[in-house]
Amino acid sequence: MAKLLLEVPRGARDFQPSEKIVRDKVIGKIKEIFEIYGFSPMETPTFEKLEILEAKFGAGENSDAISEIYRFKDQGNRGLGLRYEFTFPLARFVGQNPQLKLPFKRYQIGTVFRDGPIKAGRYREFYQCDIDTVGAPSILADAENLAVVRDVFSKLGLEVVIEVNDRKLLTEIIDYCGIDKSIAIAVIISIDKLKKIGTDGVRNELLDKGIPAGKTEKLLSVLNEVKNGSNEEKLRALKGMLGETEGLKEMDEFFEYLGWFNVDVEFNPALARGLGYYTGPIYEAFLKDQKIMSGSIAGGGRWDKMIGKYIGNEKQSIPATGVSFGIEPIMEIILKRDGAVRQTVTDLLVIPIKAKKEAIKVVQDLRERGLKVQVDLLDRSVAKNIEYADKLGIPYVGFLGEDEIKQGKIKIRNIKSGKEELIDISKVNINL
């Protein structure tokens, strides 16, 4: 038989223990914060019925994701696709379970799939991590979302800036510039690229989309005018132009609630989010140190209309709001900061010196006390065992000969320092 080319598929990755250990720790910390805010875990299938994934009203103008679905059929010839995010499965789930008690607060963490171009930091299977509150129309839930964002990044030791805006307000600004509301989403998707492609890039896109030059300039100048100053100053400037609008009132309310939760944010009237389904407040978090990573590492907003559309009854709107945390950029930042030095969870490698049977008993005692212990399974020399521990990042080895065991002791060697110490077996306590 021909030799197999052993490799993962294009765009996929193995998470070796060295990386998976860090990944599990990061996700564990995030889950801890989610749960103190009363979000519960939930899991939808890895694949969905294709017609549900392809429902256009979900992705709005973001139809890239739809063209990038991995499509296949089951043996009954039913069309299926790998999930490409968690919002549509949530909308499907809520629509399917009308008995659900609201508000429904859930989180989902897992991988999603996009058969798209591969660039640096982009994969075809990657983690997403979402919280959503379904059934709470109050903007208080959006403020709570941002308290979660603040607490997650504080727990991870990352300094972030949270930017906020509002889709209603954006639409009002677009309207104020004389641009037809019917193309507001297309305009918003261009505005979303301001940071990436700059004013000139956005200008070109808007002109390409058929927005007249005068209206395009007006829009860009409004956004430019309210770029600087405090949140209050920006809001005041906008009130001067637009008057007392619904979007501005919503922003006032949002800021009030954010104060209750003591969350600091920066109002960015050009923040847009590249998805069609948002209906109210929107937000993104960025690393304070933009040199390390410039893109957003969390983002979300209110999406009040989608579930109703899924149910096929737009009048029966079910409000929803959520945040998605960018596990992949977060992992990139944390691996850069902390490294992935340990290739094993093992804290102690026990090396029996001609007393294997008795050593196993001691090893089992240590394990019963919660220590993470490996025992030499290969009858290797002390030097080989120490090399193994060193290469894997096991911080301690323990020698167990007949003498030690008789005394109820173990000789522990710190791999880094080389220091050895004879310790009571009952007192071995390795805290890492």
Q: Which amino acid is at 98?
A: P
Phi, psi of 29 (to 5 degrees): -65, -40
Per CB under 8 A, does 283 bind a copy of itself?
no
Residues 185-214 touching a copy of itself, rule: CB under 8 A, are: none
Place of tokens 């505005």: 191
Q: How far apart are CA 48 and CA 92, in angstroms?
A: 10
List strand residue ranges (DSSP E) for 231-302, in order. Answer: 266-267, 281-287, 296-302
Per CB under 8 A, does 29 bind a copy of itself?
no
Q: Tell me which of 26, 82, 270, 297 binds a copy of itself, using CB under 8 A.
A: 82
Per CB under 8 A, does 48 bind a copy of itself?
yes
Q: How far apart are CA 195 and CA 287, in angstroms?
A: 14
Q: How far is the CB of 378 from a copy of itself (least distance, A)?
A: 6
Joined together, the tokens standing for residue 48 give 């969905």
Q: Tell me which of 264, 289, 379, 402 binds a copy of itself, using CB under 8 A.
A: 379
When the beta carbons of 45 and 240 are compared against a copy of itself, the nearer one is 45
Q: How far is the CB of 336 from a copy of itself (least distance, A)?
A: 20
Per CB under 8 A, does 95 bind a copy of itself?
yes
Q: How far apart are CA 101 and CA 247, in angstroms?
A: 29
Per CB under 8 A, does 147 bind a copy of itself?
yes
Q: How far is the CB of 113 from a copy of itself (least distance, A)?
A: 7
Residue 82 · residue 111 · CB < 8 Å = no
Q: Which amino acid is at 53?
A: L
Residues 391-410 touching a copy of itself, rule: CB under 8 A, are: 391-392
Strand order in the sheet with 71-73: 47-49, 79-82, 71-73
- Tell me how far apart the 2 most distant CA atoms of the chain are, in Å: 90
When the beta carbons of 47 and 176 are compared against a copy of itself, the nearer one is 47
Joined together, the tokens standing for residue 376 give 């030499």
When the beta carbons of 141 and 412 are compared against a copy of itself, the nearer one is 141
Q: How far is the CB of 62 from a copy of itself (least distance, A)?
A: 18
**Cβ neighbours, 10 Å, residue 335:** 15
Per CB under 8 A, does 14 bind a copy of itself?
yes
Ramachandran bin of 112, using left for φ above 0, alpha for ψ from -120 to 50, beta for the remaining angles:
beta
When the beta carbons of 289 and 314 are compared against a copy of itself, the nearer one is 314
Per CB under 8 A, does 183 bind a copy of itself?
no
Q: How far apart are CA 94 and CA 111, in angstroms?
A: 21
Residue 280 · residue 319 · CB < 8 Å = no
Q: Tell me which of 24, 338, 403, 424 binds a copy of itself, using CB under 8 A.
A: 24
Per CB under 8 A, does 9 bind a copy of itself?
yes
Applying CB under 8 A, which part among 108-116, 218-226, 323-331, 398-406 lies near a copy of itself? 108-116
Q: How far is the CB of 380 from a copy of itself (least distance, A)?
A: 10
When the beta carbons of 1 and 200 are compared against a copy of itself, the nearer one is 1
Strand partners, 158: none
Contacts with a copy of itself by CB under 8 A: the residue count is: 103
Binding mask 316-345 for a copy of itself (x = CB under 8 A): ---------------------------xxx
Phi, psi of 127 (to 5 degrees): -75, 140
Per CB under 8 A, does 246 bind a copy of itself?
no
Find the helix packing angle between 194-208 and 184-191, rounded to 10°.
140
Q: Tell me which of 294, 364, 414, 426 binds a copy of itself, using CB under 8 A.
A: 364
Per CB under 8 A, does 273 bind a copy of itself?
no
Report which of 301, 298, 270, 279 is spatially closest to residue 196, judged by C-alpha positions. Answer: 270
Return all residues near 243 (Cβ < 8 A) that are at least 6 apart.
none
Per CB under 8 A, does 367 bind a copy of itself?
yes
Phi, psi of 37 (to 5 degrees): -90, 5
Q: How far is the CB of 384 from a copy of itself (least distance, A)?
A: 11
Per CB under 8 A, does 303 bind a copy of itself?
no
Per CB under 8 A, does 178 bind a copy of itself?
no
Q: How far is the CB of 43 from a copy of itself (least distance, A)?
A: 4
Q: How far is the CB of 148 from a copy of itself (least distance, A)?
A: 10
Q: Tell me which of 26, 30, 59, 136 binds a copy of itself, using CB under 8 A.
A: 136
Phi, psi of 379 (to 5 degrees): 50, 45
Per CB under 8 A, does 38 bind a copy of itself?
yes
